[in-house]
């Protein structure tokens, strides 16, 4: 089974996904789904993928931010974004809670809206209570880029896409982002695009 990542407009991307029972989580079908989602995420490549993005309306997401994804990113940018590698993990039936009022804004993209990006405000720090691929309870406290990835993928499980939260004036093609905006500080992006 090889999975295709669906693009915006598919109804499953806008509908809330269903929670899984422990029996379903531990099933051969779910194990196979997780493995195929992992392959699809790597092939894209991306740092996260939710089951609705491959046409499966279940509350399952896979996440991994590999070290080689940031090898060409400057240390200053990594520090500003609080971005560090995140080991492969599965989150099932997640419940997310903000841990502080601080919000951070950075450009964000999505495998289901290929070729585009926009500035999205997100909570800087979150706590996620979920089940792992074995059905074991897990609590994750995350900040910075890891918190952003979790919020993005959990949004997918509720039928929400980053464009629902974005600063509309910042929506652009990734080629133009790479050409004009990639190396700019967010304060300069805000000033030039006048999005607040």
β pairing state of 116-123 and 103-109? antiparallel
Rg (CA), the chain: 17
Q: Looking at 12-158, list the stretches that DSSP marks H as alpha helix, in order from N- to C-terminal side.
A: 22-25, 28-43, 75-80, 144-156
CA–CA separation, 62 vs 48, rounded Å?
Answer: 6
Contact 109, 122 (CB under 8 A): no
Catalytic residues: 153
Sign of CA dihedral 187, 189, 192, 194: negative
Would you state the structure tokens that stand for residue 159, as one six-digit string?
A: 């039928």
As beta bridge partners, residue 120 has: 106
Omega of the bond leading into 45 within 30 degrees of 0 (cis):
yes
Measured CA to CA in angstroms, residue 138 lies from 9, 13, 43, 105, 172 at distances of: 33, 26, 27, 27, 36
The residue written with tokens 């804004």 in the block is 105
């Amino acid at each position: 089974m090889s999975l295709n990542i669906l693009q915006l407009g598919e109804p499953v991307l806008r509908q809330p996904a269903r929670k899984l029972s422990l029996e379903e989580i531990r099933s051969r079908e779910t194990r196979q789904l997780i493995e195929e989602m992992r392959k699809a995420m790597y092939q894209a490549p991306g740092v996260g993928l939710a089951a609705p993005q491959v046409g499966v309306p279940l509350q399952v997401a896979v996440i991994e931010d590999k070290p080689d994804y940031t090898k060409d990113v400057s240390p200053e940018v990594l520090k500003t974004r609080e971005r560090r590698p995140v080991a492969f993990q599965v989150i099932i039936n997640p419940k997310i809670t903000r841990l502080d009022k601080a919000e951070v804004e950075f450009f964000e993209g999505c495998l289901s809206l290929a070729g585009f990006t926009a500035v999205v405000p997100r909570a800087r720090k979150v706590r996620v209570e979920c089940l792992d691929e074995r059905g074991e309870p897990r609590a994750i406290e995350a900040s910075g880029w890891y918190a952003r990835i979790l919020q993005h993928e959990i949004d997918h499980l509720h039928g929400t896409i980053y464009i629902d939260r974005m600063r509309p004036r910042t929506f652009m093609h990734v080629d133009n982002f790479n050409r004009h905006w990639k190396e700019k500080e967010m304060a300069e992006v805000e000033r030039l695009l006048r999005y607040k």
